[in-house]
Every structure is written in structure tokens, then in C-alpha cells.
Amino acid sequence: MSLYLENSSFPTEQPQHVNISRIELFVIPALAVDATGYRVCLRLTSDLGFGWSEQFICENDASFDLEHWSELLQSFVGRFPLTSITERLTEIIESRGDSDKRVCQMFVAAIHQIRDEGALPSIGPSSAAQAEESVLQQRAIAYLSLD
């Protein structure tokens, strides 16, 4: 018995667009005894699946501005060609000069995870995703949800 790929129901091309329906940021105190800072976790919810990224922020890092990150990330909620997102991020990074680029780096990592690792489509909130979100929200000292 043979199965030809072109006759199967699996898509053969990479998606050209992504619909980002939600971007979340969780700011969680570091758990390590010798770490004084925060884990900042970014989660993207899209029609192509979920994307994750995280960074460690030192406790005394004055450049960490959650309000500014919120403004920047809000512009990425919606439907975009994947190439448009890359161009937009490049423009933002170039316009910011030497200032904090971590939020852009986190967003890029989450987009790459969705696009390159073949995340499963998010048909609805799975019980695992809901449980994970609940745990993160319980631990978070700050939470941001952009829809």
C-alpha cells in the first residue's frame, strides 16, 4: 500500500500568514537561591499554535519597562504576513538604537518556535495550556494580556 503526500490531507507548504490573537507576559520571581531577579515569560497564542520565550531580568535592572513592552507588543496582535512581522521587528529594533531590545528578541523567538517547530494548531484552550497559565498567573508578580 502506498500513500502519496500530494494526496494526503497534510499541508505541503509553510503558512504565509499568522493570526496572533493574544500575547501574554508573566513576570515571576526567580526561584534560584542565588538569583535576585525575575523570569519574564512571553506566550503567543496564534492560529498556528503557541509560541514561548523567556528571559531573566535582574532585580535592579532599571531598563525593564513593562508598560513600554506592552505598547510595543500590542502592535503585533492581529493577522499579518510572516514577512511583514519580520520587517516590522527590524524597523522597531533599528529605531530603538542601543536601548532595550529584549522584548523584540523574545517575540522573535516565540514566532520562530511557532513557524519552525511546527506547533500544533490551537483549536481551543487545552486543559494543559489552561493549567500552565493558571500556575504562571499564581506565581506572577505582574501579568500582561494583550488581545
Query: pLDDT, tens digit, for every residue of 60-99?
Result: 888 888 888 898 888 889 998 877 777 777 777 667 655 6
Q: How is residue 119 annotated by DSSP?
A: P
Domains of the chain as residue ranges with CATH:
14-146 (3.30.390.10)
Are the C-beta atoms of 18 and 79 separated by less than 8 Å?
Answer: yes
Residue 87: which H helix or E strand, with range?
helix 82-95
Give just the sign of the alpha carbon dihedral 99, 68, 95, 77: positive
Query: pLDDT, tens digit, for every residue of 90-105?
Result: 777 667 655 668 888 8
Mean pLDDT of the chain: 77
Work out the pLDDT band at 6, boundaries 50, 70, 90.
very low
